[in-house]
Amino acid sequence: MVLEVRDIVVEVEGKRVVRGASLRLAEGELQVLMGPNGAGKSSLLSAIMGLPGYRVVRGDVLLGGESIVGLPLYERARRGLGLGFQSPPRMRGVSARCILEALEKIHGRWREVYRYARLLGVEELLDKPLSGLSGGERKRVELLLVLAQRPRVMLLDEPDSGVDLDSLSLVADVVEEATRRGIAVLLVTHTTRFLEELVGRRVVSRISVMVDGVIRLEGEPGQVLQLLEEKGLRGAAEGA
């Protein structure tokens, strides 16, 4: 397994927001994590990535068999973790190309980055300030920047949020392509629209549903999707 999360409990400002979560992710595997707003999904991803303020008080996170709970964010990134935020930060005066050029100095030039840029339809956006992009444009550009880090594992927090229907297929194309290249993906969403797009491509291996900081339902995509359609997020999880 490239990523293992073992029964972690996460606190933010002394409040427990994740109350026991476990998952295992293999190379090239795509898993989807769903749940209502405030369920703890984003907090789980932030804790895995090691963002400041998200304290793991119990459990462990292993990347390639190595515990990374005690490592700072930048060391986790060096080891192959990449995070796409639910709301990408607005950086005034900074363009995507500036960041890509900085990443090239670290990792070397990688022609696949510009292939992904074409797939995402963001080639014309690379020289524009990130602060001037629309929400959907920033989400697509951010996905490109995560890929440019050449991650082993991508943690994607609602990459479909604010993205129009046409762009939704572009994002799905790139997520599918990433898994084919061996990148493991843990993807958070709270809508079924994007989930149905991915499940229809047969690239999702597992769907989990988190409610109140606990993963209460997990299983095969078709089965879980049917339960979600019949009962909704909370109803499906609480009836499991």
Q: Say what the pLDDT of residue 229 is.
A: 84
Please report which residue ranges of the chain form alpha helices under DSSP H.
41-49, 73-78, 96-107, 112-120, 135-148, 165-180, 192-200, 221-238
140 in a structural domain = no
Q: What are phi and psi of 54, to 5 degrees?
A: -105, 100
Distance CA 25, CA 122 (A): 29
Strands 81-84 and 153-157 come out as parallel
Counting the structural domains of the chain, the total is 1
Asked whether residue 74 is domain-assigned, the answer is yes
What is the edge-to-edge ordering of all strands in the sheet holding 184-188? 81-84, 153-157, 184-188, 30-34, 204-211, 214-219
Q: Which domain holds residue 31?
A: 3-86+151-238
pTM of the model: 0.93
Confirm whether 59 is domain-assigned.
yes
In a domain, 126, yes or no: no
CATH number at residue 233: 3.40.50.300
10-residue stretch averages of pLDDT, the chain, 240 residues long: 97 96 97 92 97 97 97 95 80 85 82 89 91 85 92 94 82 94 94 86 95 93 88 74
User: What pLDDT is recorded for position 14?
Assistant: 93
Q: Would residue 175 count as lying in a domain? A: yes
CA 217 to chain centre: 19
- Distance, in Å, from the CA atom of 187 to the CA atom of 30, rounded to the nearest integer, reads 7
Query: 49 lies in a domain?
Result: yes
What distance lies between CA 194 and its chain's CA centroid?
13
Could you tell me if residue 146 is inside a domain? no
What confidence tens digit (pLDDT) does each residue in 41-65 have? 999 999 999 999 999 999 999 999 9
Q: Which long-range contacts (CB under 8 A, 24 or more apart) does 87-93 make?
A: 87/161, 88/130, 88/138, 88/139, 88/141, 88/142, 90/130, 90/131, 90/138, 91/129, 91/130, 91/131, 92/129, 92/131, 93/129, 93/131
